[in-house]
Amino acid sequence: MASYKYKMLGFSRKFKMNEVGPPADVKKAFSKFAEGGDHMSADQLRRFLVEHQGDMDSTVADADRIIEQVLHERRDASEGLSLSDFFHFLFHSDLNGPIKSQVHHDMTAPLSHYFIYTGHNSYLTGNQLSSDCSDAPIIKALQRGVRVIELDIWPNSTKDDVLVLHGRTLTTPVKLLKCLQSIKEYAFVKSQYPVIITLEDHLTPNLQAKVAEMLIQIFGEMLYYPQAECLAELPSPESLKHRIVISTKPPKEYLESKDSKDKESILTGERASGGETPGFMAEQEFESQSMLIYINSFDVWQSDSDQDDEEISACDHKSGQRGAPEYKCLISIHSGKPKGSLKNALEVVANKVRRLSLSEQALEKAATNHGTDVVRFTQKHVLRVYPKGTRFTSSNYKPHVGWMHGAQMVAFNMQGYGKLLWSMQGMFRTNGECGYVKKPDFLMQKGPHDEVFDPKITLLVKKTLEVKVYMGDGWHLDFSQTHFDSFSPPDFYTKVRIVGVPADVTKKKTRIIEDDWAPFWDEEFKFPLTVPELALLQIEVREYDRSEKDDFGGQTCLPVSELRPGIHAVPLYDKKGEKLKSVKLLMQFQFV
C-alpha cells in the first residue's frame, strides 16, 4: 500500500492508495488463454493477441519478445506470464498501445489523395498581431510531424533581404534564411515523407530570384523540381520521400499604382479574409490608430471573401507577367486567386493540377452551395482551408468541415491548444504519425453518372464502436500530492466523445470516483457511427471540484479507423499535446 499525507487545520490526515489490480475482464482473458494454468506461454499469448486483440500477424516470436521484456522489467525469472505479468503487459502503452504505430496506408497515390498535416502561419510563436516570428515553432511543428509549413515572405526595409513575418502587424520578423535552414535540419526527424513549403509571396522579382538561390543552395538535392511548368498530376508521397516541395503563386507583374496595389492586396491577396493583409511594418511604429484600421479592414473586406480568394489561372503565364525564371521553375504546386464565381473556381481541369485556398467562412459557403463540386475538385486538385482573419488569438475552427469535403490542407494554428487542436493531433496519429493520411475511398470514388459523395446526406449507421473504460493510473507519479486537492486524493471521471460528421457527434462520461489516485470505473459506452472513417474518439479525464472549475487530468484523441480491438493501454497528454510520462487508462474497444 502506498500512502500520502495531507495537513488540514493542523492535523495530519493519511489517505491510502490501493494497489492497482486487474479488472475482471483481464482475469477472464488470462484464465481462458492460459487454459486454467498459473502462467501463459508464448504460444498462448500469441493466441490471445490473434483471437482477442485482432493482431492477425502476431507470431510466437513476437509473443516471446513481449514476455522477455515484461519479465525483465518486473525482474521475474519465470518462463511465462503470471496474471500480474499479463496485466502489466496490457497496461504497458509501449507494448500494447491503442492504435497502429507503423505507416500502413498506400503511399503511392498522388498527393491530392491524402489529408496532409498543415500549419498556418507556422513561424508565429503566439497571437496573430504582436507575437514574435521565429524558427522555433517551425521546428516544433516538424518534430510533431507537420508536413506543410507556411511562410509569409516580405522585403526588409532596405529591400535587399527577405524576412518572414505577418504583414501589417506588430509581429517581429525572422530571416527567411534561418527558417529554411531549420526546415532542412528538422524536416525528416519525425517523418520521411515530403515537406511542402507554402510561400505567401510579397517580393519584387529581384528578391524572388534571391529566394530561388536560397532554396537551391540550402536544400540542394532535397528540393523537388517539377518536370513540367504545370503538373497534370501530383507525385505520390512515396516518390517524394525526403524531398522539399514548394507551393506558391507564380511570379506576377506588380500592379501599376501603389494605391491600387494596396486595395488589391486586401481584396484578393491569397488570404483575403484570412488575415494576410500585406504591407511591411516591421521596423516602424505601429500606433493604436493603425491597429484599429487593420482590425476594421476585416469588417470591410470579409464580406468580399465570398468573391473567392484564389486565382485558377496559375499555369497561364501571360506575356505581361514577369518574375525570376529560376523561382518559377521551383514551384511544384501552383496557387493563385480565383477569377469569377466560386463554382468556376471549382472546375476540374484535366491537364493542370493546382491549389485553391479558402477561408473557413468561404469553405462553409462553398459547402452549403457547392458541396459536391468541392468534393469533385479535391479528387484531383488541392484545397487549403485557413482560419478566418479575426482569430487574432490564434484559435482554430472545426476541421471536419474540410475533411468531409476532401480538403487536403486544413491549416491550423499549432501554437495554441484546446479541443479543436486535440482533434487535429488525433487525426494525424493515423498512419504511423507520418503526416499523410489516405483519404477514405468514398471521397475519391465516382458513380456511373459521375456522381460523388454528398456531405449533406445523412447516411445509415455503418458500425458501432463499443468503448469500455476500466481504470486509470499514473497521476500520483506525474502530479504533486496537492495538485488536484489540497486535503484529499482526487475525484476523477472520464469524458468520452465522438468528433466527426454531425450525425456521429455525441458525448458520454463515467461516474465520479472519489478520493482515489487510481480510479476504477468499469463502464461501457456505445457509439453508432455513420462515417467511422472520419470519426475521432476524444478522451478527457477531469477531477471534480465542487466550488471551482473541474481540474484537467489528461486527454487524448484517437482515430477510430486506427483503433485496435481488445484491451489496451491508452496514454494521456497534457493540454498542449505533450505526452504525460505515466498517466494512462486501461480501455477496451470493440466494433459491432
Domain identity same for 189 and 296? yes
Residue in this structure with the C-alpha cell 489561372, named with its chain if needed:
313
Domain identity same for 289 and 345? yes
The total domain count for the chain is: 3
Residue 46 lies inside a defined structural domain of this protein: yes
- Which residues are tagged catalytic? 120, 166
| Domain that includes residue 565, residue range | 460-591
Number of neighbouring beta carbons within 10 Å of residue 58 = 18
Q: Is 292 exposed, middle or buried (0-12, 13-18, 19+ CB in 10 A)?
A: exposed
Candidates 120, 188, 189; CA nearest to 152 is: 120
Domain identity same for 228 and 174? yes
CATH code, 550:
2.60.40.150
Domain identity same for 125 and 255? yes
Kindly provide the residue ranges of all beta strands, DSSP E only, lying in 185-252, ordered along the sequence.
195-201, 244-248
pLDDT tens per residue across span 1-25: 344 444 444 444 445 566 778 999 9
- Domain endpoint, select from 376, 409, 441: 441
pLDDT confidence of residue 338: 64
Domain identity same for 46 and 85? yes
- Domain endpoint, select from 58, 90, 122: 90
d(CA 31, CA 35): 6
Q: Contact, 165 vs 152, CB < 8 A?
A: yes
Domain identity same for 421 and 492? no
Residues with Cβ within 8 Å of residue 584, at least 6 apart in sequence: 91, 93, 472, 473, 474, 569, 570, 571, 572
Number of neighbouring beta carbons within 10 Å of residue 293 = 12
- For CA atoms 134, 174, 220, 200, the dihedral sign is positive
**Start-to-end Cα distance in the chain:** 40
pLDDT band at 301 (very low <50, low <70, confident <90, very high): very low
Domain identity same for 421 and 522? no
Domain identity same for 424 and 490? no
Residue 12 lies inside a defined structural domain of this protein: no
Q: Contact, 587 vs 565, CB < 8 A?
A: no
Residue 8 lies inside a defined structural domain of this protein: no
Domain identity same for 437 and 468? no
Mean pLDDT for 213-236 is 93
Report phi then psi at 106, rounded to 5: -65, 120
Domain identity same for 189 and 268? yes
Question: Could you tell me what percent of the chain has a pLDDT over 70?
Answer: 84
Mean pLDDT of the chain: 87
Domain identity same for 434 and 507? no
pLDDT confidence of residue 19: 72
Residue in this structure with the C-alpha cell 500469441, named with its chain if needed:
46
Tell me how far CA of residue 405 lies from CA of 27, 228, 367, 420, in angstroms: 45, 29, 8, 18
Residue 3 lies inside a defined structural domain of this protein: no
d(CA 344, CA 108): 30
Residue 76 lies inside a defined structural domain of this protein: yes
CATH code, 71:
1.10.238
d(CA 364, CA 266): 21
d(CA 255, CA 435): 38
For residue 407, how far is the Cα from the chain centroid? 13
pLDDT tens per residue across span 319-358: 334 457 889 999 999 997 667 788 889 999 888 899 999 9
Domain identity same for 217 and 68? no
Residues with Cβ within 8 Å of residue 103, at least 6 apart in sequence: 431, 432, 434
Q: What is the pTM of this model?
A: 0.87
Residue 262 lies inside a defined structural domain of this protein: yes
Residue 364 lies inside a defined structural domain of this protein: yes
Mean pLDDT for 174-196 is 98
